[in-house]
């Protein structure tokens, strides 16, 4: 069970795009976010894939922005009709879209006679948006309140994320695993007692089936190394037939 700890940075990821929900493309951005936030020591508390629907996006952004420290969105920021992330975030925070002069200048460099309307869509941001220029991408990363707005193309998302990620470094999390040849029901009491005794350690138990044989993987994790060690020893001593992994 996850514990919300003082001083711990929490985050939500919002993957925007029908193409994921319909199975046309498999989601690469969610797994990347899970992996990198973990490495950075940030607690990902929620990850959702939402459709290209204004209400869905704006409600999800508003809820996550209120509940968590950081929100990462990917997708829906290009020039086509199905790119409605900026408009949805504008609606979520009631901050109207405004043409941003710095972005307009980038477009004018390419279209000196005036950028076409689809391109202009990318230069209109919710009022109060910040531009983050780290990295060598042509367009900056956009931030509105605590929401970082990334493109959905995995290559661009990863590049922009890596360029800016030093700002999200949190406190490292340590993990250990115990592989048990036991039924979950027979170890439930011991795990429950360990969880009560070391509330800062997250303890999880996951049955696994391999070649028709069931076993259980118990995971313990914490930012408190001492508590983690103690809980690990306690669990090992109080459950049957353990093989640490």
Going by the DSSP 8-state scheme, the letter that residue 145 receives in this structure is T
Residue pair 195/172 in contact (Cβ under 8 Å)? The answer is no
- Identify which range of 132-140, 141-149, 179-187, 224-232 contacts a second copy by CB under 8 A: 179-187
Q: Which listed residue (5, 41, 56, 132) binds a second copy by CB under 8 A?
A: 56
* Residue span binding a second copy (CB under 8 A) among the ranges 98-106, 134-142, 207-215, 223-231: 207-215
Q: Does residue number 25 form part of the binding site for a second copy (CB under 8 A)?
A: yes
DSSP 76-122: --SSSTT--HHHHHHHHHT--EEE-HHHHHHHHHH-TT---HHHHGG
User: Tell me, what DSSP letter sits at residue 57?
Assistant: H
The answer to the question of residue 200 lying near a second copy (CB under 8 A) is: no
Q: CB under 8 A: which stretch of 19-27, 90-98, 161-169, 231-239 binds a second copy?
A: 19-27
Question: Residue 37: left if φ>0, alpha if ψ -120 to 50, beta else—which one?
Answer: alpha
Give which of 159, 124, 132, 128 is closest to 145, Cα–Cα.
128
DSSP 129: -
Site for a second copy in 72-111 (CB under 8 A): 78-82, 84
Residue 184, interface with a second copy (CB under 8 A)? Answer: yes
- Asked whether position 21 contacts a second copy by CB under 8 A, the answer is yes
From the list 9, 146, 205, 238, which residue makes contact with a second copy (rule: CB under 8 A)? Answer: 205
Count of residues near a second copy by CB under 8 A:
62
Give the footprint of a second copy on residues 125-164 (CB under 8 A): 152-153, 155
Among 87, 98, 221, 224, binds a second copy (CB under 8 A): 221
Task: Give Cβ neighbours of residue 129 (< 8 Å, ≥ 6 apart).
Answer: 100, 142, 143, 144
Q: How big is the chain by its Cα radius of gyration, in Å? A: 22
Report the alpha-carbon distance of residue 43 to residue 10 in Å, rounded.
Answer: 5
Binding region for a second copy (CB under 8 A): 1-2, 17-27, 30-31, 34-35, 38, 44-53, 56, 78-82, 84, 116-119, 152-153, 155, 173, 175, 184-185, 187-189, 191-192, 195, 202-209, 219, 221
């Amino acid at each position: 069970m996850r514990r919300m700890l003082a001083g711990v940075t929490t985050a939500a990821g919002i993957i925007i795009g029908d193409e994921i929900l319909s199975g046309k493309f498999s989601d690469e951005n969610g797994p990347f976010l899970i992996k990198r936030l973990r490495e950075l020591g940030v607690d990902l508390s929620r990850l959702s894939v939402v459709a290209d629907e204004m209400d869905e996006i704006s409600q999800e952004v508003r809820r996550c922005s209120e509940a968590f420290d950081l929100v990462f969105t990917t997708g829906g920021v290009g020039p086509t009709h199905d790119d409605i992330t900026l408009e949805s975030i504008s609606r979520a925070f009631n901050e109207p879209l405004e043409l941003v002069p710095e972005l307009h200048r980038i477009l004018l460099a390419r279209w000196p006679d005036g950028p076409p309307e689809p391109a202009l869509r990318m230069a209109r941001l919710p009022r109060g948006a910040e531009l983050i220029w780290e990295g060598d991408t042509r367009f900056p990363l956009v931030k509105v309140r605590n929401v970082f707005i990334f493109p959905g193309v995995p290559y661009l998302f990863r590049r922009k994320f890596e360029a800016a990620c030093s700002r999200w470094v949190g406190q490292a999390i340590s993990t250990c695993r115990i592989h048990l040849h036991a039924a979950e029901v027979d170890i439930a009491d011991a795990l429950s007692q360990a969880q009560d005794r070391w509330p800062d350690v997250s303890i999880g138990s996951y049955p696994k089936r391999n070649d028709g044989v069931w076993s259980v993987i118990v995971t313990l994790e914490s930012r408190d190394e001492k508590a983690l060690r103690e809980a690990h020893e306690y669990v090992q001593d109080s459950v049957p037939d353990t093989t640490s992994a």
